[in-house]
Amino acid sequence: MKPLAVGPHEIWPPLVLAPMSGVTNRTMRALYKPFGLGLTVTEFVSSNALQYASSAKRTMEMIDQHGLEKPVSTQLWGDDPAVMAKAAKIVRECGADIVDINFGCPAPKVTKTNGGSACLRDLDRCEAIMRAVVEAVDCPVTMKMRLGWSEDKLVYIEAAQRAQTAGVKALTLHARTAKQFYKGNADWAHIKRLKESVDIPVIGNGDLSDAHDAIRRMEETGVDAIMLGRATLGNPWLISQIRDLMEGRAAQAVPSAADRLRYAIGVHYRAMLEELGESRAVPQMRKHLALYLKGIPGAAVLRERIMRLDRAQDVVAVVEETIESLERAVAA
């Protein structure tokens, strides 16, 4: 496989962490980068919110970087070309290596203002946004989209061709419509069709939860890279497995349940506590621990216990108790 080329950036491995709201903050990106990511993407940021960044601490946190996770792409959403251009300048000044335009998010809080995937209902507006952002910054601009707003309005090929003409350097396609949200299966036949329709790099996204299946998808479609999202939550070892296969090695085994939980509290949880403080880290980590617990006996009961806890030491105690129980079971 070849590196993913995005402007001056040669990205290896061609493996990208998807932007996920409330998840891919700088702590998460720095934690996941060593598993084998070539590129990380911030949470998607409202271009309107960035106009008031001086008084919006949360917005600035979303685009903040450690430096450990570079290169970093900052993703923006909005429906106004001028506002998107201004926001692109701000995030570039704040260290974005790549500016990514969000035409993919199906969440109602985004689409009700014609942002995200709702933009695909008006390709003229999409093109105006892309041209404004490309003109505004001196770094590569990329774009992520869905197939279209609905099954009867699949516009991804035209949107991609307009993006290429506008100067966009790479495209990511999540192979569902906006109306599908995350239901049904991502249709990678569309990703293959997109790759055959443009000359700029294409990144495939959707339903990549198995390392061998991910490589098969790349080979079948000819995409230049793949983007991983929800499947990595609670399982960053998936990233390592795909990297191994990309580099010609056998995929390493996923650690034991006990070792996965040790990482969850010894590395992930500790990093969040140091970054965010207990009051913010505990609620955020509950959802992560619920995913690390997936497949462990009694996981539902453990998740319920953890969701009721507010102190870090109490959460750690429950997980350590679980680790001991798992190891006793293995020994027996």
136: which 2 tokens?
């505004």
- Is 19 buried (19+), middle (13-18) or exposed (0-12) by CB count in 10 A? buried
Contact 106, 117 (CB under 8 A): yes
HSE of 267, CA atoms in CB hemisphere, 13 A: 14
Q: Residue 7 burial by CB count (10 A; 0-12/13-18/19+): exposed, middle or buried?
A: middle
Q: Which residues pair with 154 in a beta bridge?
A: 148
According to DSSP, the β-strands at 202-205 and 170-174 are parallel
Residues 6+ apart with CB under 8 A from 56: 49, 50
Residues 103, 159: Cα–Cα separation, whole Å? 10
CA dist 176 and 145 (Å) reads 9
> Residue 104: what are its φ and ψ, rounded to 5°?
-120, -25
DSSP states of 143-190 as a string?
Answer: EEEESBSSTT-B-HHHHHHHHHHHT--EEEEESS-TTTTT-S---HHH
Does the annotation count 119 as an active-site position?
no
Q: Which of 105, 119, 126, 139 is catalytic?
A: 105
> Which residues carry out catalysis?
105
